[in-house]
Structure 1
Amino acid sequence: MKVIDIASWKRKEHFEFFSKMKSPYFGFTTEVECTKAYEKAKENGHSFFAYYLHKSMVAVNSVEELKLRIVGDQVILYDEVHGGSTIGRADGTFGFSFFHYSEDFETFNQGLQKEIKSVQNSTGLGISNDVLPINHIRHTTIPWNSFSALLHPTNFDPKECIPKITFGKFNIRDGKKFLPVSVEAHHGLADGIHLAKYIEEFQRQLDM
């Protein structure tokens, strides 16, 4: 963990400019090809959701700007960020989940599957966002539809700084599978180039 010296930070003006806005989030929606990743997950008996979620977490942790958080009046760079995701239940509701990041898929997946079972056996929203560590990143999946745009709820808090990543149902075109991805971040902490780096690394991970 490292406290950023805002006074000498190259993003000082960017941070101060966007932090004055009631809604400083920005983002975009795109696609990544997931054909190889889907086949590999199925060949090894893994959940495709778990597989691409892990690849996303690896990509997130490769981009320094997505590990920055606003804590009080400080900007802190965390060594790593962990995962959070909505988990659907059989009754049509969902709950929030939290799981630790590991570069090793098997380790990551064990924790994820345990958390999925816990949420599916609970009611309400599950874990409160108020008790989640700030060094996590929010994921959600819309498995019923693909999408080309997305709208998140917001409380218009300029210090809300946890990035949001959303996945949809993959499309099939010319025999290839394409996963829609929406990514948003606090513009005082990250720019378009940083979100593009995440997408680039996410695609590279899916192609491995």
Structure 2
Amino acid sequence: MFHVVDFEKWERREHFKYYTERLKCAYSITANLDVTLFKESLRKNNLKFYPSFIYCVSYNINSMPEFRMRLGENSQLIVYDIVHPNYTIFHKDDHTFSDIWSEYTDDFYKFYDNYKCDMKKYSHIKGVKIKANQPKNFYCISCVPWLTFTGYSTYSSESTPSLMPIITYGKYHEENGKWLMPFTVTISHAVADGYHVSKLINSIQETIDKQSFLVSDGVLTPPDA
């Protein structure tokens, strides 16, 4: 489900018009996340980093309407009620990857089970898109686990910048007793400014620090606006 943005009441209507009609641009912001507490908590709870981190990112993206915007029918700007993560599987034998998506839910343990079921069914299948019926309301997240980078940019030649956020993170490394991990958000300037991306990254850091989703019910409440 989704709702259509009311342009007459939307505070970003002039910004959206400018960045879709006059200056069609996207941008990327890379910052280090401190995953020290997160790694230790996952180790104690015998949980995998990849699905747990995808959940944390998905939870925060779903908490902010700026990252759930898309163009619908008749070029209407819509905001989905929920978006699902589309992530990648790396095949070690031939060094290719496959795209897969899992259904998102605020309940961490249900999402973790969704991920495990999808991995069990699709992880050995080759191809770019290996799970059918990918919903329109998705976003992309992937990892470059072989490299600690300081910047990352994703773009398509001669195309309009996507309103969908593209998330990329890299290899975490130890520095002064902390484990730091590069994290990049790429987004169209039409829907999100530096303020919104900063808020997203800071909220993800807060989520992985508190790890409150690891309580018995596994359900988080949205962060304050």
Distance in 1 between residues matched to 2:24 and 2:43, nearest whole Å: 40
SS in 2 for 1:60: helix
Counterpart of 1:111 (choices 94, 110, 114) is 114
The structure 2 residue matched to 1:100, chosen from 92, 98, 103, is 103
Separation (CA, whole Å) in 1 of partners of 2:82 and 2:122: 24
Distance 1:159 1:172, change over 3 A: closer
Matches within 5 A, 1:25-64: 25-64=26-65
Which residue matches 1:149?
151
Corresponding residue number in structure 2 for 1:162: 164
The two structures have a TM-score, normalised by structure 2, of: 0.85
CA drift of 1:148 comes to: 0.5
Offset, 1:126 = 2.5
**What amino acid maps onto 2:147 in structure 1?**
N
Structure-1 residue corresponding to 2:222 = none
1:121 aligns with 2:124: yes
Tell me the amino acid that sits aligned with residue 58 of structure 2. M
| Range moving further from structure 2, 135-144 or 115-124 | 115-124
Q: Residues 20 and 158 of structure 1 are in contact (CA less than 8 Å); yes or no, is this contact kept in structure 2?
A: no
Q: RMSD of the TM alignment (CA)? A: 1.9
Q: TM-score, length-normalised on structure 1?
A: 0.92
Letter in 2 for 1:115: D
Map of 1:205 onto structure 2: 207
Amino acid at match of 1:95: S
Partner of residue 135, structure 1: 137
Match of 2:173 in 1: 171
Q: Which runs of 4+ in 1 moved over 6 A?
A: none
Amino acid at match of 2:116: Q
Partner of 1:194: 196
- How many residues are paired up? 207
CA distance in 1, matches of 2:161, 2:176: 43
Q: Which amino acid aligns with 2:51?
A: A
Q: Deviations over 1:120-178 (max 9, x none)?
A: 2111212489x532321100100111111113241443263211000101011111111
The aligned residue for residue 78 of structure 2 is 76
Task: Give the SS at the match of 2:163.
Answer: coil
Percent of aligned pairs sharing the same letter = 28
Offset at residue 21 of structure 1 (A) = 5.8
**Residues 22 and 157 in structure 1, CA contact (< 8 A), matched pair in contact too:** no
Closer, same or farther in 2 for the Cα pair 1:17/1:127, shift >3 Å?
farther
